[in-house]
Structure 1
Amino acid sequence: MTLKTLDNSLEVLKYFNKQNPTWGVRELAKEMNISHSIIYRILSTFENHGFLIQNPETKKYELGLRFLEYGQMVKEKLNLSDFVLPIMKNLAEEIKESVFLTWLDGTDGVTVEIAESSQTIKFSVSIGTRTPLYIGASCKTIMAYLPEKRQMDIMDNGMEKLTSETITDPDEMLLDLENIRNQGWCFSTGEYSHSVFGLGVPLFNSKSDIIASLTIAGPEYRKPTEEKFLEMVKIIQHAAMNIQRYFDQYSFKFYND
Structure 2
Amino acid sequence: MSLKTLDNALEILKFFTDETPAWGVRELAKELNVSHSIVHRVLATYEKHGFLAQNQVTKKYVLGIKFWEYGQLVQKRLKLIDAIRPIMHRLCEDTGESVILTILEGIEAVDIEIVESPQKVKYELTVGNRAPLYVGASSKVLMAYLPEEKRAEVIEQGLSPYTDNTIVDPNKLIVDLDNIKKQGWCYSRGEYFEDTFGISIPLFNKDREIVASLSIAGPSYRMPEEKVQEALHMLEKRGKEIQNYLSQIEVHQLFQ
TM-score (norm 1): 0.68
- Does residue 233 of structure 1 match 2:232? yes
4+ aligned runs moved over 4 Å, structure 1: 73-76
| Cα distance in 2 between the residues matched to 1:138 and 1:80 | 20
Alignment partner, residue 179 of structure 1: 179
Retained in 1: the 8 A contact 2:80–2:245?
A: no
| Cα distance in 2 between the residues matched to 1:124 and 1:82 | 21
Retained in 2: the 8 A contact 1:91–1:236?
A: yes
Q: Deviations over 1:43-83 (max 9, x none)?
A: xxxxxxxxxxxxxxxxxxxxxxxxxxxxxx96973424421
1:1-257 equivalences under 5 Å are 2=2, 77-226=77-226, 228-252=227-251, 254=253
Specify the SS of the correspondent of 2:128: coil
Retained in 2: the 8 A contact 1:75–1:112?
A: no
Retained in 2: the 8 A contact 1:101–1:214?
A: yes
Residues 182 and 253 (structure 1), Cα distance of their counterparts in 2 relative to 1, 3 Å cut = closer
| Cα distance in 1 between the residues matched to 2:158 and 2:136 | 16
| Cα distance in 2 between the residues matched to 1:244 and 1:121 | 30
| Cα distance in 1 between the residues matched to 2:137 and 2:159 | 16
Specify the SS of the correspondent of 1:251: coil
Retained in 2: the 8 A contact 1:80–1:113?
A: no
Q: Deviations over 1:149-189 (max 9, x none)?
A: 10011101111111111111100000000010111110001
Residues 95 and 255 (structure 1), Cα distance of their counterparts in 2 relative to 1, 3 Å cut = closer
Unaligned runs of 5+ in 1: 7-72
Specify the SS of the correspondent of 2:122: coil
| Cα distance in 1 between the residues matched to 2:195 and 2:250 | 36
| Cα distance in 2 between the residues matched to 1:162 and 1:252 | 33
Specify the SS of the correspondent of 2:229: helix
Specify the SS of the correspondent of 2:247: helix
- The alpha-carbon deviation at position 232 of structure 1 amounts to 1.2
Overall identity of the aligned pairs, in % = 44
Retained in 2: the 8 A contact 1:78–1:253?
A: no
- The alpha-carbon deviation at position 250 of structure 1 amounts to 2.7
Alignment partner, residue 40 of structure 1: none
Residues 136 and 87 (structure 1), Cα distance of their counterparts in 2 relative to 1, 3 Å cut = same
| Cα distance in 1 between the residues matched to 2:107 and 2:2 | 26
| Cα distance in 2 between the residues matched to 1:75 and 1:119 | 34
Residues 252 and 151 (structure 1), Cα distance of their counterparts in 2 relative to 1, 3 Å cut = closer
- The alpha-carbon deviation at position 253 of structure 1 amounts to 7.1
Structure 2 residue identity aligned to 1:215: S
Retained in 1: the 8 A contact 2:205–2:252?
A: no
Alignment partner, residue 65 of structure 2: none
Q: Deviations over 1:7-47 (max 9, x none)?
A: xxxxxxxxxxxxxxxxxxxxxxxxxxxxxxxxxxxxxxxxx
Residues 192 and 202 (structure 1), Cα distance of their counterparts in 2 relative to 1, 3 Å cut = same
Q: CA RMSD in A?
A: 2.1
Unaligned runs of 5+ in 2: 7-72
Structure 2 residue identity aligned to 1:238: K
Specify the SS of the correspondent of 1:212: strand
Retained in 2: the 8 A contact 1:104–1:212?
A: yes
Number of residue pairs matched by the alignment: 187
Alignment partner, residue 50 of structure 2: none
| Cα distance in 1 between the residues matched to 2:75 and 2:110 | 12
